[in-house]
Structure 1
Amino acid sequence: MSVPEAACTLTDPQLQALQEQGLQAVDVPHDGDCFFHALLTAEILEPFPAGLTPGHLREDLARELTEDLNRLPEDRIRWPLLDVLGQSAAAADEFRQVLTDIPPLQQLGIDMGMRNDAIALQNQILALTTQDWSNQDRNRIIQALASSGVYDNASGDIAPVAAAWIYNLRINVITPQGTSYPIGPHNPLRELTLIRQEHNPNTPHDHWLATRGTPATGMAATGASATVPPGPTAVAVFGDSFGEAHT
């Protein structure tokens, strides 16, 4: 999908929201790393250091979550926020796998009232919602998060929340309905807006787009400077250890 085509798939409510906020959509590669591309592309007062790639962000988030996982459960600061979302997203992944592993429901006879097959399927689904959530499950998410191009699983669901809170970002998300919701702490220096596209007849896959101000409203037009006093730093991406590891 080319950039103009991607822009054409924005919904009318999204286009209206962009106009009202003085923003324009900026498409990014459709390569499974679109969320991270969007983070690095979106206009923000205190930007990420130059030269970072989606791979750097994936590796850094995975490292941070691994370090947190290695702490005693009562000392963890990242996973308490991510566990509920991660568990529900992982259960959704396994539910989708159950549906791909079984014959079509018509072949099972469920539509013809074959009660035993229906109960078996119900029990499989119930097991997904009651299974224990362990460090092994968390490690699977971390491994997927560290893997470039991997997005259609639980790691893709938790990535925005993890990035927002670990990097101290305020991510405003414009939904296909034109409404917006925030992710992350209030931080004017690291506030950005992303656009969320969802799979539908006009969009072949879920996708994230960045935004920048229009020529009349962007930082250059308003005189805003990207060189500002640093805000609170959450992890290495904005600190010395990231510079040592990736420069």
Structure 2
Amino acid sequence: MTGQNSATASDYVFDNDGDHSSDQHHYLARLLDPLTFERLALTGVGPGWDCLEVGAGGGSVALWLAERVTPGGRVLATDIKPGLIPSRPGLTVARHDIVTDPLPEGAFDLIHARLVLSHLPRRREVLRRLRAALRPGGWLQLDEIDITRWVAPPPSGGPGEEVYAAYVKAMARVLGAAGSDPTWGGTAARDMAAAGLTDIDRTRWTEVWKRGSAGLGLLISNSHHLEGRLLEAGMTLGQLREVREVMSAPGFSAPSFEIHSILGRRGRDD
């Protein structure tokens, strides 16, 4: 639900030019940055490293990397619509489609992509291209979600459960209709290994979202951002207004989707 690298910009459901794009990236950063940064730190990223941030979205991860690779390193942050990525020393911003545009081979010590490849029908091809862009011994980190168990209604039995479940299921239909696979996080490690990456290390994280949390803030923002698509997926305006009220109500809570963070490495002798 972030980044904008896709087969064509129009295929991607979350548009960086949308009225709610900044809110979306704000909540994604609050929700995911702590785990992303913790995992990136495991690679040892530091001064002198050359890094690629694919589908950089609002730029929070690219900025974090840029602070760590200076002096002597660089971060290339790419997106189909890179207008929300801020400029900083050591950070280069470029318009780039990871599916169709060329990448230099053997150029990066670390590549990171968050919630990007699950939106790409040609994700396995992209994985092979990302591996080729790593230097021998370089790291690839993918952060993705799996909504396999999230689509069920929350088990609390509280008010709003029915409309919340309808919203979650409609969101899954919207993503699927656009060619995304929001369950791919659960199998991404297997595909990384099949692409030739080694030293695969995966962690899975979930939490309970309550009023005011980044997770529910993201879902409320998405209900506005994707309103037209959600209506096409079978929701009504009344249901969307109701589910926004439900997710903002005191006492409401719901389980998060699963977040998978996977590290893999190009072999040193590769």
Q: TM-score range by the shorter chain?
A: under 0.3
Q: Which is bigger in relative contact order (C-alpha 8 A, separation at least 6)?
A: 1
| TM-score normalised by structure 1 residue count | 0.25
More helix by share: 1
- TM-score calculated relative to the size of structure 2: 0.24
Task: Indicate the structure (1 or 2) with the bigger Cα radius of gyration.
Answer: 1
